[in-house]
C-alpha cells in the first residue's frame, strides 16, 4: 500500500485592495450580482462574476425555487450564461462573494462541489487555468490559481 498525498496552496489576502485592479473590478461585479440574488428560502445571497478572455464580464447569482433542488448556484448561473452566450471564449477569472441577509459575513465562501465540477469542464476544455477569488461580504479574499486547486482528482471526459 502507498499513500497518495494531495497538497493544495491557496493565497489569502487581508482585503480586496491588495489584489490587481481588474480583479477588484471583477469582485465589485460579483457584489453587484449578490445584491440581486433570489434567495427567499435560504436568505444566503451569492454573487459571481466571470472575466472572459474577450474582456467581457458575465454575472450570476443564486436563483432559488420552492421545489428546492430546482434552484441553481450563482457560479453555475454565471458559467452557463457565459457558455451559452460566448461559446469557446475561455474564462480568465471568477470572483465569488456570499453572505446571509441576517448578518455581515466576513468568511470567504468557496464554491460548492457541484459548481467546482461544472467549472472544471470549462477549464479542462480551454486547457488554461481559471483563477478563482472568493470572499464573504467584506474581509479576506482567497485566491485559487486553478479549479484544480479546489478540486483535486477531478473527474473529466478523459475517463469516459
Catalytic residue among 64, 75, 123, 137: 75
CA atoms of 72 and 83, how far apart (whole Å):
16
Shortest gap between Cβ of 5 and ligand THU (angstroms)? 27
- Crossing angle of helices 74-85 and 21-34, in 10° steps, is 110
Judged by the rule CB under 6 A, the positions of this chain that interact with ligand THU are: 39, 42, 44, 46, 62, 64, 71, 73-75, 111-112, 115
When the beta carbons of 75 and 137 are compared against ligand THU, the nearer one is 75
Sign of the Cα torsion 111, 117, 121, 124 reads positive
Shortest gap between Cβ of 11 and ligand THU (angstroms)? 20
Active site residue 121: no
When the beta carbons of 46 and 82 are compared against ligand THU, the nearer one is 46
Shortest gap between Cβ of 160 and ligand THU (angstroms)? 25
Q: Write out the H or E segment, with its range, that includes residue 24.
A: helix 21-34
Residue 47 DSSP SS3: strand
Active site amino acids:
75
Amino acid at each position: 500500500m502507498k499513500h497518495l498525498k494531495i497538497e493544495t496552496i491557496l493565497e489569502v489576502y487581508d482585503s480586496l485592495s491588495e489584489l490587481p485592479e481588474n480583479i477588484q473590478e471583477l469582485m465589485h461585479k460579483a457584489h453587484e450580482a449578490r445584491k440581486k440574488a433570489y434567495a427567499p428560502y435560504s436568505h444566503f445571497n451569492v454573487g459571481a462574476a466571470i472575466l472572459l478572455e474577450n474582456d467581457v464580464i458575465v454575472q450570476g447569482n443564486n436563483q432559488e425555487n420552492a421545489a428546492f433542488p430546482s434552484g441553481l448556484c450563482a457560479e453555475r448561473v454565471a458559467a452557463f450564461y457565459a457558455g451559452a452566450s460566448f461559446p469557446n471564449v475561455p474564462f480568465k477569472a471568477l470572483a465569488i462573494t456570499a453572505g446571509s441577509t441576517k448578518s455581515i459575513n466576513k468568511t470567504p465562501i468557496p464554491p460548492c462541489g457541484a459548481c467546482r465540477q461544472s467549472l472544471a469542464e470549462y477549464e479542462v476544455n480551454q486547457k488554461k487555468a481559471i483563477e478563482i477569488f472568493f470572499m464573504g461580504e467584506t474581509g479576506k479574499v482567497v485566491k485559487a490559481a486553478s479549479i484544480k486547486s479546489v478540486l483535486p482528482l477531478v473527474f473529466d471526459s478523459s475517463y469516459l
